[in-house]
């Protein structure tokens, strides 16, 4: 039987992914808190502002996960 070797770098990569995900989550929470007053002030443009907020959120997620996967492979 072959014994599996333990690679110490995998634990480090896993920790970096957790830290990057937490930083992304904190950024999204901050963006949400900043967007609330704007959405309340311009209630007639809720659809447009919500679409822009959703697109920005999606773009941040895509950039972050592309960076995480590229950086920590």
Which structural domain, as residue segments, surrounds residue 47? 11-71
Is residue 31 one of the residues assigned to a domain?
Answer: yes
Is residue 1 one of the residues assigned to a domain?
Answer: no
Number of compact structural domains in the chain = 1
Tell me if 24 sits within 8 A of 61, measured CB to CB.
Answer: yes
For residue 72, the number of C-alpha atoms closer than 13 Å in the C-beta half-sphere is 19
Is residue 26 one of the residues assigned to a domain?
Answer: yes
Question: Tell me: the pLDDT tens digits for 45-73?
Answer: 878 878 888 888 888 878 877 777 776 65
Q: How far is CA 64 from the centre of its chain?
A: 5
Kindly state the average pLDDT of the residues 20-42: 79
Task: Please report the pLDDT score of residue 11 as a whole number.
Answer: 57
């Amino acid at each position: 039987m072959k014994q599996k070797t333990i690679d110490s770098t995998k634990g480090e990569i896993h920790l970096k992914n957790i830290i990057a995900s937490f930083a992304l989550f904190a950024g999204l929470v901050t963006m949400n808190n900043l967007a609330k007053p704007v959405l309340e002030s311009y209630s007639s443009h809720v659809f447009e502002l919500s679409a822009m907020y959703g697109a920005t959120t999606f773009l941040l997620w895509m950039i972050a996960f592309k960076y995480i996967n590229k950086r920590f492979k």
